Chains A and B, each alone.
Chain A
Amino acid sequence: MDKNIFTAGSYDVIVVGAGHAGVEAALAAARIGCQTLLATLSMDNIAMMPCNPSVGGPAKGHLVRELDALGGEMGVNADKTCIQFRMLNTGKGPAVHALRAQADKKLYQYTMKETCEKTENLDVKQILIDKLLVEDGVVKGVQVETGEIYTGKAVIMATGTYLKGRIIIGEHTYTGGPNGQRAAMKFSDSLQAAGVKLMRFKTGTPARVDARTLDYDKMEIQPGDEECRNFSFMSDTVTREQTPCWLTYTNEETHKILRDNMHRAPMANGIIEGIGPRYCPSIETKILRFPDKQRHQLFLEPEGLHTNEVYVQGMSTSMPMDVQLEFLHTIPGLEHAKVMRAGYAIEYDCIDPTQLKPTLEFKAIKGFFSAGQANGTSGYEEAAAQGIIAGINAAMFVKGEESLVLKRSDAYIGVLIDDLVTKGTSEPYRIMTSRAEYRLLLRQDNADARLTPLGRRVGLVQDDRWERFTQKQGAIKEAMEYLRKNSINPTQEIKEKLSAAGIEPIRNATSFYELLRRPEVDYAKLQSVFDLPELADEVRQQVEISITYEGYIQKQLEQVEHMEKLEEKLLPEDIDYSQVPSLRDEGREKLAKIRPRSVGQASRISGVSPADISVLLVWLEQQRRLGR
């Protein structure tokens, strides 16, 4: 018998999926003032971390800080629930310093769930969405498996790895989402019916082992940092108990077991068809691709304070269970390890992100947005970053206000989204600092300065944050002015002071600003001998970085200005590329497919040659002269 289809409610914004992208999208839309529905497969798994317990790292930590500056939740939530923090890359330049934390997974989830439930304008429901409702290229809402229809002015899909999810452990496969959850088997069919192009990707996770069965004496301890740091601009936590991680290695014996069983690896015997990520290869892939490497490093990371589950980072696998047990036991410290959860691979449907505008709205379906792993990315941070942008733009769409598009020179979020919608991706996409061309401008320490004003504009930055922000910026400005205006003369007294602080002597009157430009000088040194104003740590840091690295920063600013000229040359939305003469066939085809907003974006499309860009520029100029 057909089920009863009925309209159960109507919203401004409907978010399908409550993972890291979904919660940020829903929180952003609701906080901006839209009536929002957050649909999840399981109330118990909101903001679940199905893979590793860590948040942040190079570029990913930058994303979290940026998300936070816009008014997102991930940074705040991580600060509340993480049990180890480390600042990575501290010796490699200020732009690539990266905060990385280990979360208590369950605490992270429940804290985020609580935040969602307490947010005004936001309804959270455990429902499985079967269908996207579209009429004449405009989104209308969604239909639940049990027959309810929720109408929405905007819909955001944040479906992660759940669309036609399929779990693979060796020869054993079943449909489902991560960690024994249901998969959404029908939603992608309705996407295809609406003309959306799908891809099939794969990712995987290692086994979890019982902490009580590990021999820690055979492993190397990796403690957290002593200094207490936070992701969020608004967090004031100053002390935190830190739980260590442990380091161990595979060996020849491990590799032999893997090699001997390679014919049973799902990727070798054809069970896995999806495309997996290069930066997160399974252990079997590592052995195949780097046969000369004698050992691979593994981190054992606790999954929380109230569990014995330990994540074996570096051992992602979809090998059959007997093989998994056998090779784990060859590893020092894991000889007697009991496996609590098996490693597995998961295959899922995602969309080709070149179908999206930089606002994350589908070009062909008005009011329909997509964010997160469903867009072919990987990682909690990448998902969350897209989530907040989709949430903001869905809200702007509903309110009829200007959308928010971050440029590559604004934020890693801009790099991430521009890469996705311009180049597309052929594997689960991970953000990296090497993807950013203006890395020195996009530091994790200045994310607040870059993005808080934008968060304020769209209505996500509340008064308390805004006040704290303007205060900090004011203090930085004041300090810079002070250092520029005040100078010292080469008197005997000054000479002695400088020498006492270990600073080279000066010949002429020199401002403190100029002194700070010397590589050997920092603010503390100056303060030890001169009467300088007391600066808060975060203010002093900004002052030092912007003075010490002024030359490099200036160079990048010039590059940005140069690039901006091409970014400002907008291409008309209705441009008919078949009418632009002299484009090469491949260039023409790619331009017609991606429909870039600007010549700058066009120049980044693979398959569009510099000659095509020259042709486009000439053509635009001609159109302008013809007065079109």
Chain B
Amino acid sequence: MQQSDTISAIATAQGEGGIGIIRISGEKAIEVADTVFRAASGRKLADYETQRAVFGHIVDADEETVDEAMVLLMRAPHSYTKEDVVELQCHGGVMPLRKTLSLTWQAGARPAERGEFTKRAFLNGRLDLMQAQAVMDVISAKTKKSLKMASGHLSGHFSAGIKAMRHEILGMIAHLEAAIDFPEDEVDDVVTDDVERNVVEVRNKIRKLLKTANTGRILRDGLMTAIVGKPNVGKSSLLNALLREERAIVTDIPGTTRDSIEEYANIGGVPLRIIDTAGIRATDDVVEQIGVDKARAYVDKASLVLALFDGSREFMEEDEEILSLIEGKEALVLLNKTDLNEVLSVEMLAERTKAPVIAISTVTEHGLDELAAAITKKVYDSGLADSDEGGFVNDERQVEILRRTDEHLAAALRTIGAGMGLDFISIDLRSAWEKLGELTGETVGEDIINEIFSKFCIGK
């Protein structure tokens, strides 16, 4: 079976902090670790009991020390994946960490696919679907705000919201079912107006959640951002200014190999994913030619466009073209070089575009705070400035399930409107309830029956 072969990967984001962890999971995890690790005690890991931390060194095939390491031994099923798991906590930075990883592969492990640990944890019953997905999100959380969102899911914050909604629907179903199954008992008459009102309430909650979907996606995946402008307007200076933010994370995605490096600029908690940073840098010193064609390609890919203009020069045909490119896009117009003589003013630009215009100087860093505020405003104004981050919907699957749930609820309202029997209302509500259960991975069981008996005094 696939589950039991042995996988390994770097389990921490690279470049952050002093410790890097390599996780090995599977049937031969301990054997693999014993090949690359020498405990200071001189004993084999295989001789240790589970849940032990062992100090020692990572060695290569020639027994040369690669790194110092603390090793955590977790035997099945007392581990994240419920398989044998060994975690190598290395101290030496990125290069030794990579070297160690490749040693585990030589020793018989294979590179883990993205999310494979979590998949195993799920298949082995360690996590429900929602938790598994949340773990995936924690792994790739780009900024602290994203992390908070992800851990909100993990701790069941989001699940709790969904469960509360399901419970409301369940209450309605139980009432309908009790009225159907016990017509001669004293079940209060089902007032369809009440059902209608409750359904509308639940629908409002779902809509609110759906509204957060976009923000959730941005916080998880990063906001695709293009920087455009005519030559020498200061694109690479802006890029550097953005990346100089202290919390900037420069990383490649753990466990996968990629040629290009993506860079994330953390602006006010929003991860900006800047398109073709290498391209922008490459043109830094040269009198370059990023033609309008290339700028158009950037703009198409981007969710946010930062359009740069030079305040020390006249407005030119190229600027005109840039403005027409960003028409209808989410864009911020930046008037750079406010530290120099003003030739082009904010007002003059504002006349030509609907996008907000912000005066900045990448040299003095004037206006960068204003820029950050404008970006976060754009993200949060998709409907949730005050909403608690734990409640964001951040995944296509979740969006789809919520949409389908909402459709079933809408059908229930139509059924009520058409004056059809209680049975039909119940059918629609059941569909909604079951659909919502897919979010938390809960199975349909005796819930309805139990609810009927706890709520209504029934019986001969």
Contact = CB atoms under 8 A, between A and B. Distances in A.
Interface of A: 52, 57-59, 88-89, 91-96, 98, 277-281, 286, 289-290, 293, 296-297, 299, 313-314, 316, 423, 432-435, 439-440, 519, 552, 556, 581-582, 584, 587, 603, 606, 609-612, 614-615, 618-619, 622
Contacts of B418: 519
Contacts of B441: 610
A93 B457 contact: no
B107 interface: no
Given A92-B421, A618-B2, 19 more contacts: A52-B460, A58-B183, A88-B183, A91-B421, A92-B422, A93-B422, A93-B424, A279-B458, A279-B459, A280-B460, A296-B457, A314-B460, A423-B446, A552-B427, A556-B427, A581-B4, A584-B124, A610-B441, A610-B443
- Top 6 nearest A-B pairs by Cβ distance? A93-B423, A93-B421, A584-B125, A434-B177, A290-B457, A92-B422
A556 B3 CA distance: 36
A582 B184 contact: no
Contacts of A618: 1-2
A603 B444 CA distance: 10
B459 A98 contact: no
Interface in B39-98: none
Contact of B3 (A289, A432, A582, A612): A582
A200 to B, nearest CB: 20
Given A440-B427, A582-B124, A584-B125, A434 B457 contact: no
Nearest to B4: A581
Interface residues of B, number: 38
Given A316-B460, A434-B177, A582-B3, A278 B453 contact: yes
A93 B460 CA distance: 24
Contact of A286 (B420, B423, B443, B459): B459
A271 B154 CA distance: 48
Interface in B184-205: 184-186
A316 B182 CA distance: 17
Nearest to B441: A610
B73 to A, nearest CB: 21
Nearest to B449: A434
Nearest to B423: A93
A92 B186 contact: no
Contacts of B180: 58, 89, 92, 96, 433-434
A590 to B, nearest CB: 12
Given A296-B457, A619-B1, A440 B423 contact: yes
Contacts of B457: 281, 286, 289-290, 293, 296
A609 B442 CA distance: 9
A609 B131 CA distance: 15
A611 B459 contact: no
Contacts of A606: 445-446
B420 A299 contact: no
A88 B457 CA distance: 19
B400 to A, nearest CB: 17
A126 B261 CA distance: 88
16 contacts: A52-B460, A88-B183, A89-B180, A89-B183, A92-B423, A93-B424, A278-B459, A293-B457, A296-B457, A299-B184, A440-B423, A552-B427, A581-B4, A582-B123, A611-B123, A615-B123
Nearest to A88: B183
Contact of A297 (B1, B177, B185): B185
A591 B124 CA distance: 16
A587 B126 CA distance: 13
B443 A609 contact: yes
B393 interface: no
B117 interface: no
Given A280-B460, A286-B457, A610-B443, A439 B123 contact: no
A627 B181 CA distance: 48
Interface string B387-420: 0000000000000000000000000000000111
B206 interface: no
B125 A611 contact: yes
B448 interface: yes
Contact of B421 (A57, A94, A603, A619): A94
Nearest to B448: A434
Interface string B86-128: 0000000000000000000000000000000000001111000
B122 A611 contact: yes
Contacts of A435: 449
A493 B104 CA distance: 87
A432 B176 CA distance: 13
Contacts of A293: 457
Among B123, B186, B422, B460, the most chain A Cβ lie within 10 Å of the Cβ of B460
A297 B424 CA distance: 28
Interface string B156-191: 000000000000000000000101111111100000
B460 A96 contact: no
Among B1, B177, B457, the most chain A Cβ lie within 10 Å of the Cβ of B457
Among A289, A519, A603, A611, the most chain B Cβ lie within 10 Å of the Cβ of A611
Nearest to B190: A92
A615 B122 CA distance: 10
B375 interface: no
A552 B424 contact: yes
B452 interface: yes
B169 to A, nearest CB: 14
Contacts of A313: 460
Contacts of B460: 52, 280, 299, 313-314, 316
Contacts of B424: 93, 552
Among B184, B422, B441, B453, the most chain A Cβ lie within 10 Å of the Cβ of B184
B183 A582 contact: no
A434 B125 contact: no
Contacts of B446: 423, 606
B314 to A, nearest CB: 65
A280 B459 contact: yes
Nearest to A290: B457
A612 B125 contact: yes
B449 A519 contact: no
B1 A96 contact: no
Contact of A433 (B1, B181, B421): B181
A278 B456 CA distance: 11
A611 B124 contact: yes
A615 B123 CA distance: 7
B409 to A, nearest CB: 15
A581 B120 CA distance: 12
A104 B218 CA distance: 71
A229 to B, nearest CB: 16
Given A93-B424, A278-B459, A610-B441, A622 B1 contact: yes
Among B122, B123, B125, B177, the most chain A Cβ lie within 10 Å of the Cβ of B125
Contact of B186 (A296, A316, A582, A612): A296
A603 to B, nearest CB: 8
Contacts of B124: 582, 584, 611
B184 A88 contact: yes
B459 A281 contact: yes
Among A57, A440, A582, the most chain B Cβ lie within 10 Å of the Cβ of A582
Contacts of B452: 432, 434
Nearest to B450: A278
Contacts of B459: 277-281, 286, 314, 316
B429 to A, nearest CB: 12
Nearest to B121: A611
B123 A614 contact: yes
Contacts of B182: 58, 279
Contacts of B185: 297
Contact of A434 (B1, B123, B181, B445): B181
A606 B129 CA distance: 18
A299 B459 CA distance: 11
